[in-house]
Structure 1
Amino acid sequence: MHSETRSYRTGGEEVVLDLTDDAAEVAAGRGDGLLHVFVPHATAGIAIIETGSGSDDDLLSALADLLPADDRWRHRHGSRGHGRSHVMPAIVPPHATVPVLDGRLALGTWQSICLVDLNIDNAEREVRWSFLGG
């Protein structure tokens, strides 16, 4: 097993951050197995989606429709609507597992591994990568 943690700066706005290149680096040369990605934050998630064609913006729009940034949330510290960021991981989970074959991610043609972060109050995120196999 191999495990490592990397830090990412998500900035002060909602973001879908493509982590696929980093995932490929972690998996490179490791043979067959599983790459597990986990974000240890209560307000972020991991999604496997297409990026660069508008799907990442569509995901943010869908989450805004499902979880509006308004004053309905009981969890009220931070920026307006911050409580929705604490609900989001129930919809976009904080983890994903991807097969690795011969040291390469076995993703579909248009699939990318992405960090989804609605929390504009926390610009620094950590992602834990764990490769199981060999």
Structure 2
Amino acid sequence: MIDITARCADFVAGAGDGLLNVFVPHATAGVAVLETGAGSDEDLLRALAQLLPPAGPGGEGWVHAHGSPGHGRDHVLPALVAPTTSVPVVGGRLALGTWQSVCLVDTNVDNAERQVRLSLLTG
């Protein structure tokens, strides 16, 4: 899990009002808005591990066939943590709650590089 709030804030700085769209174009990644640093981020990863276990000692049990053992579960993650989210922007600043952060979530150990696409609809 990577906190990308600062990057999002930089992207909208001075842009007025609008709606920031955050999108990750990957089959194993999602975007979450949650509290970080107090354990909620770790709790989310723990909950995902419980919901999407490796399915067996060698990762068998997932139909998805390529990648490291248990990799099929990574491809199910975006159904639970959507690959896109929108954040209101007011006066060129993210209108997040006090403890909210925008985070990239990806449990896939087969690919360490990820892209995040940001777009702003002003108005």
The TM-score normalised by the length of structure 2 is 0.94
Measured in 1, the distance between the counterparts of 2:21 and 2:78 equals 16
- The answer to whether the aligner puts 1:91 opposite 2:100 as a matched pair is no
SS in 2 for 1:22: helix
- The answer to whether the aligner puts 1:82 opposite 2:67 as a matched pair is no
Equivalent runs, 1:5-20 vs 2, <5 Å? 16-20=1-5
**Gap runs ≥5 in structure 2:** none
Code of the residue aligned with 2:114 in structure 1: it is: R
SS in 1 for 2:99: coil
Question: How much does 1:76 deviate?
Answer: 2.2
**Gap runs ≥5 in structure 1:** 1-15
Measured in 2, the distance between the counterparts of 1:102 and 1:24 equals 11
Question: How much does 1:77 deviate?
Answer: 1.1
Code of the residue aligned with 1:115 in structure 2: it is: L
Identity among equivalent positions (%) equals 66
The TM-score normalised by the length of structure 1 is 0.87
1:93-134: CA deviation from partner (whole Å, max 9, x where unpaired): 000000000000000000000000110000000000001105
1:38 is matched with 23
Measured in 2, the distance between the counterparts of 1:29 and 1:41 equals 29
Aligned pair count?
Answer: 119
- State the Cα RMSD in Å: 0.7
SS in 2 for 1:90: helix
SS in 2 for 1:124: coil
Measured in 2, the distance between the counterparts of 1:114 and 1:29 equals 22
Measured in 2, the distance between the counterparts of 1:64 and 1:119 equals 12
Measured in 1, the distance between the counterparts of 2:45 and 2:60 equals 19
Question: How much does 1:80 deviate?
Answer: 1.1
- The answer to whether the aligner puts 1:60 opposite 2:45 as a matched pair is yes
Pick from 118, 128, 131: which aligns with 2:117? 128
Pick from 108, 113, 116: which aligns with 2:102? 113
